Amino acid sequence: MSKLIETKAYIEKILKSSRFAVLATEGDGQPHASFIAITPMDNYRALIFATYRNTQKYRNLKRNGKVALLVESGNINIEQQDSFVLTAFGHVEEIRTEDLKAVFNTHLEWHPDLLSFMQTEDCSLVMIKVDTYQVVRGIDDVEWWSIRDLDIEKSI
């Protein structure tokens, strides 16, 4: 199996099985980490999450839209090569009005328990446009893949 096909399979596997991630933002020189529920879209080029607008996370996103999002496979074992951590690096973009209903419904399908939260007036859906993925399969096995290099064709 080629390295590219193998990497695509790893990314697909982790994003299908891991519904949660740690979002890293920055505000006024101070890092901030948040545990969030994610939904991959657009062939893994976009990751969606919901947040209240009255949070440090949201304020940081408005000031500096660059983010890192860490997702782990859930069965990390340094001795096994099939366990890994995935980090998505990208920037926040506003969801277009015409796409809002579809994005809302897709996120709700992945996280039906978030309905009341997502329906609140203070809740905002946020889209991370992924530029690069870092795939960590082991302590000495770290790779960087740009979205262009991956050219992921298979949708979730």
pLDDT digits (tens, 9 = 90+) for 23-80: 999 999 999 999 999 999 988 899 999 999 999 999 999 999 999 999 987 654 444 5
Dist CA 69 CA 149 (whole Å): 19
Query: Which one is predicted more confidently, 13 or 80?
Result: 13
Domain 3-149, CATH homologous superfamily name and number: Electron Transport, Fmn-binding Protein; Chain A (2.30.110.10)
3-state secondary structure at position 61: helix
pLDDT score for 91: 97
Dist CA 124 CA 119 (whole Å): 9
With 70 as the cut, is the pLDDT of residue 82 above it?
A: no
The residues spanned by each domain of the chain are: 3-149
Contacts made by residues 30-35, CB under 8 angstroms, sequence distance 24+:
32/56, 32/57, 32/60
Longest dimension (CA), the chain: 48
pLDDT score for 155: 44
Residue 49 burial by Cβ neighbours in a 10 Å radius (0-12, 13-18, 19+): buried
Nearest CA-CA partner of 110 in 24, 21, 18: 18
> Model pTM?
0.87
pLDDT score for 78: 42
